């Protein structure tokens, strides 16, 4: 008898989770849509929605046009129910965001802080995070802090196995975790950026994070694939040109040296915005540089498509250029069609949903899964 009641409770919890996850990806819906799309009976939907309304997690947000009888209410998540913080650590900066239950950025702050292994660094991060939360969180509870780090991370052990960007090997994150005022979750920055995307839309996809360095991630059946030693998706260090340019990892010819944003900014001598301005003014040197960049990126994307046969999302700062300028995405597509004799088109090529702060949003989202 006891076993039976546990089964009923589990089933009820599963249904609640399904409803909340549905609402994460449908900003406004109705009870009848929920019943239809999730294959639930109307009494089950009414019972759960009643509870969620009472909890304050969802709210009635409008009315559908009347079809004769009483107007149906549209419901959606209540963005003020709770929020989560995302924190990105890089060699020279901290990036902080507060994200609401609709995955919208409520506040963000970027400060200059040089990474160091000293405990004083953890104390300074803690102080800046506390200040940010005090200034921006208001009365809305913050569930936790998702921390994105450029490096190979073991989230369970809270360990950075390796980070070239921060010059770390087997660095414990426990001090930082203890210094933070809320529960912390640590994730590789490219994995976090992938997690910012809608998992319903991208059950199986490769994410290329085209920032100053090139990060990568991929998910299968809606879950990040980490590999045997947490380094799956390190596409930046696959050899693209044997014996080619020196990569910051110490090898020659890595994809990073050709396809990261730093290939366009001459290793940060100019900003990517400046590069874009020169490119859009059609200055010959910059057109030529972009052309070569697209050639290399096309080879990398084509190889990834052959290996994974999944959608490929172009993210990071350069991904933002492709999202903003469809003609540049077309130029890449044309080159891809020359390299690829297997796909009839390039509809697998996608642009990222968040041009900025994707890693911070993805890391923050971790805590929303806990309230489902």
By CB under 5 A, name the binding residues for Zn ion.
237, 247, 249, 251, 254
Q: How far is the CB of 22 from Zn ion (least distance, A)?
A: 41
Between residues 90 and 262, which has the closer beta carbon with respect to Zn ion?
Answer: 262
Q: How far is the CB of 299 from Zn ion (least distance, A)?
A: 16
Q: How far is the CB of 357 from Zn ion (least distance, A)?
A: 25
Q: How far is the CB of 212 from Zn ion (least distance, A)?
A: 14
Contact indicator for 88, 363 with CB cutoff of 8 Å:
yes
| Cα 277 to Cα 86: distance, rounded to the nearest angstrom | 30
Q: How far is the CB of 235 from Zn ion (least distance, A)?
A: 10
Between residues 237 and 335, which has the closer beta carbon with respect to Zn ion?
Answer: 237
Q: How far is the CB of 215 from Zn ion (least distance, A)?
A: 12
| Cα 179 to Cα 206: distance, rounded to the nearest angstrom | 34
Q: Which long-range contacts (CB under 8 A, 24 or more apart) does 53-59 make?
A: 55/81, 56/81, 57/20, 57/81, 57/101, 57/371, 58/23
Between residues 48 and 212, which has the closer beta carbon with respect to Zn ion?
Answer: 212
Contact indicator for 121, 174 with CB cutoff of 8 Å:
no
Q: How far is the CB of 362 from Zn ion (least distance, A)?
A: 23
| Cα 312 to Cα 340: distance, rounded to the nearest angstrom | 14
Q: How far is the CB of 89 from Zn ion (least distance, A)?
A: 21
Q: How far is the CB of 152 from Zn ion (least distance, A)?
A: 13
| Cα 58 to Cα 23: distance, rounded to the nearest angstrom | 9
**Residue 72 DSSP label:** P
C-alpha dist (Å) from residue 36 to 29, 31, 62, 271:
11, 9, 20, 50
Between residues 35 and 249, which has the closer beta carbon with respect to Zn ion?
Answer: 249
Burial of 3 (0-12, 13-18, 19+ CB in 10 A): exposed
Between residues 155 and 253, which has the closer beta carbon with respect to Zn ion?
Answer: 253
Total Cβ atoms within 10 A of residue 119? 11
| Cα 53 to Cα 74: distance, rounded to the nearest angstrom | 12
Between residues 144 and 236, which has the closer beta carbon with respect to Zn ion?
Answer: 236
Contact indicator for 255, 238 with CB cutoff of 8 Å:
yes
| Cα 172 to Cα 117: distance, rounded to the nearest angstrom | 10
Between residues 246 and 266, which has the closer beta carbon with respect to Zn ion?
Answer: 246
Between residues 59 and 249, which has the closer beta carbon with respect to Zn ion?
Answer: 249
Contact indicator for 247, 254 with CB cutoff of 8 Å:
yes
C-alpha dist (Å) from residue 332 to 207, 295, 323, 346, 350:
16, 8, 12, 9, 12
Contact indicator for 119, 194 with CB cutoff of 8 Å:
no
Between residues 254 and 304, which has the closer beta carbon with respect to Zn ion?
Answer: 254
Between residues 162 and 350, which has the closer beta carbon with respect to Zn ion?
Answer: 162
C-alpha dist (Å) from residue 1 to 38, 51, 257, 299, 327:
28, 26, 64, 61, 64
Q: How far is the CB of 262 from Zn ion (least distance, A)?
A: 12
């Amino acid at each position: 008898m006891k076993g039976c009641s546990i089964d009923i409770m589990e089933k009820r919890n599963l249904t609640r989770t399904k409803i909340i996850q549905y609402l994460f990806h449908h900003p406004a819906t109705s009870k009848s849509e929920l019943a239809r799309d999730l294959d639930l009976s109307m009494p089950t939907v009414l019972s759960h929605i009643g509870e969620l309304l009472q909890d304050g997690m969802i709210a009635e947000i409008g009315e559908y046009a009347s079809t004769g009888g009483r107007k149906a209410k549209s419901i959606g998540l209540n963005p003020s129910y709770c929020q989560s913080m995302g924190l990105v650590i890089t060699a020279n900066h901290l990036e902080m965001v507060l994200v609401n239950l609709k995955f919208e950025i409520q506040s963000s702050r970027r400060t200059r802080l040089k990474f160091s292994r000293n405990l004083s660094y953890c104390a300074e991060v803690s102080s800046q995070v506390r200040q940010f939360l005090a200034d921006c969180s208001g009365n809305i509870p913050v569930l936790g802090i998702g921390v994105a780090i450029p490096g190979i991370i073991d989230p369970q052990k809270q360990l950075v196995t390796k980070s070239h960007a921060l010059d770390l090997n087997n660095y414990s994150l426990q001090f930082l975790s203890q210094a933070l005022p809320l529960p912390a979750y640590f994730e590789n920055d490219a994995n976090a950026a992938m997690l910012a995307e809608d998992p319903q839309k991208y059950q199986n996809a490769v994410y290329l994070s085209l920032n100053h360095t090139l990060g990568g991630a991929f998910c299968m059946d809606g879950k990040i694939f980490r590999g045997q030693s947490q380094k799956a998706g390190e596409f930046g260090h696959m050899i693209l040109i044997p014996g080619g340019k020196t990569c910051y990892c110490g090898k020659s010819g890595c994809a990073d040296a050709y396809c990261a944003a730093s290939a366009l900014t001459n290793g940060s001598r100019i900003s990517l915005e400046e590069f874009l301005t020169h490119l859009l003014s059609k200055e010959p040197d910059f057109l030529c540089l972009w052309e070569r960049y697209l050639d290399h990126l096309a080879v990398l994307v084509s190889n990834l498509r052959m290996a994974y046969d999944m959608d490929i999302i172009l993210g990071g700062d350069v991904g933002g250029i492709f999202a903003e300028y469809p003609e540049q995405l077309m130029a890449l597509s044309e080159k891809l069609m020359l390299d690829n004799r297997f796909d009839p088109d390039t509809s697998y090529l996608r642009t990222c949903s968040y041009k900025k702060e994707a890693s911070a949003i993805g890391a923050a989202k971790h805590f929303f899964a806990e309230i489902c």
